[in-house]
Amino acid sequence: MQFSKTQKKRDTRDDESLLAEYRSGGSLDSLSEIYMRYTGLVFGVCLKYLSDREMAKDAVMGIFEEIIVKAKNPDIKNFRPWLYVLSRNYCLMQLRREKKISVEPLSDFMEFEEDLHPEKMELESNLKNLELCKQKLVVEQRLSIELFFERKLCYLEISENTGFSLKEVKSYIQNGKRNLKICIETLQKGE
């Protein structure tokens, strides 16, 4: 990528100010300014999950298209951690779609997988329920739980990454775990 000598000067306002401006006026300039700050992070996440540079580049563009709609949500308090989670989830959905496409044509010629591996199907069902229930959590709970259990960060690191107080982090994790348990039990009873 080459930059011209007349390149636009970077906006020095913080993420929250630019996000508020985007929400109030809908100008893509303020949203793109925030996103440009984190394209390296987004590309890194995409490359980690997708393991293909071209797919990662496509995902970076797809994620921007998603945040055009999703960034209007007033619940987003800290853009960077929210963007990380959004990027990761986007990549996981891409991987699921890719797997589904490559497996479906073979299903007509094979026995049903449930008959061959019932424990695998139960585990997959539990993982799907967990992902579904995580999406139902409030953003702060979901982010705290993902950082604690998936990224293995301690309370202090979560607090530093998100801006939540230590007390809030503990509360979000505790309440999020309880809400996940209730949601998963409800889904299992309905199956």
Residue 124 placed within a domain: yes
User: The CATH number of the domain where 128 resides is what?
Assistant: 1.10.10.10
Instruction: Quote the CA–CA distance of 112 and 44 in Å, as a whole number.
Output: 37
CB 141 within 8 A of CB 83: no
pLDDT of the residue at 10: 65
The range of the structural domain enclosing residue 158 comes to 115-191
Torsion-angle region of residue 26: left (phi > 0), alpha (psi -120 to 50) or beta? left
pLDDT classification of 191: cutoffs 50, 70, 90: low
Model confidence at 115: pLDDT above 70: no
**Average confidence score pLDDT of the chain:** 79
**DSSP label at residue 111:** -
Instruction: Quote the CA–CA distance of 5 and 173 in Å, as a whole number.
Output: 48
pLDDT classification of 174: cutoffs 50, 70, 90: very high
Number of structural domains in the chain: 2
Boundary-marking domain end, from 103, 125, 157: 103
Name the one residue in this structure whose structure tokens are 């109030």.
24
pLDDT of the residue at 11: 67
* 104-108, 117-121, 146-150, 155-159: least confidently modelled range: 104-108
Of 170, 167, 128, 129, give the one whose Cα is nearest residue 147: 170
pLDDT of the residue at 171: 93
Model confidence at 98: pLDDT above 80: no
Q: Count of CB atoms within 10 A of residue 47's CB?
A: 17
* 6-15, 43-52, 122-131, 148-157: least confidently modelled range: 6-15
Instruction: Quote the CA–CA distance of 1 and 57 in Å, as a whole number.
Output: 13
pTM higher than 0.85 for the full model? no
Model confidence at 125: pLDDT above 80: no
Residue 7 placed within a domain: no
User: The CATH number of the domain where 57 resides is what?
Assistant: 1.10.1740.10
Q: Mean pLDDT across the stretch 169-181?
A: 91
CB 89 within 8 A of CB 49: no
pLDDT of the residue at 113: 45
* HEC readout, 148-176: HHHCCCCHHHHHHHHCCCHHHHHHHHHHH
pLDDT of the residue at 121: 62
Residue 3 placed within a domain: no
pLDDT in tens, 157-173: 888 888 889 999 999 99
